[in-house]
Amino acid sequence: MNPIEISTRRLGLPVRTEGGGAYSVIELPGIKHFGLWTLADAARSRFGIDEWPTYIPRPQATLEMEVDDVSNPVDELKDRGLKIVQEPKIEPWGQTIARLLSPEGLLIGITYTPMLREE
């Protein structure tokens, strides 16, 4: 059991692991997806290593936004000065995601997730 699963079970939240164990999902009524992951999980997903690289500022929090098209918001955020950490790519589970880092240390994911759109 990973640290997120241990913490959320203590709080009594219904947790399941997805993405081949890459992240945890909490099932909440009325919400299609509420996921949590550790910084190590983010580093593995982006860089293929277990620790965040020292040459990129360590994020203080992560926020992911689901959009219809990943390219336009990524371009807009880059134009506003956010540093691209990951160009748009398709994850093994079918989600397209790009990640940017704000000057304040917020890791922002811009995502398109087909399975969240299925009825």
For residue 51, pLDDT over 90 is answered with yes
Question: Do 86 and 78 touch, CB atoms closer than 8 A?
Answer: no
Domain architecture of the chain: domains with CATH: 55-119 (3.10.180.10)
Q: State pTM to two decimals.
A: 0.66
For residue 59, pLDDT over 80 is answered with yes
Residues in Cβ contact with 101 at an 8 Å cutoff, skipping those fewer than 6 apart: 56, 57, 59, 82, 83, 85, 107, 108
Report the range of poorest mean pLDDT among 5-19, 25-39, 95-109: 5-19
For residue 23, pLDDT over 80 is answered with no
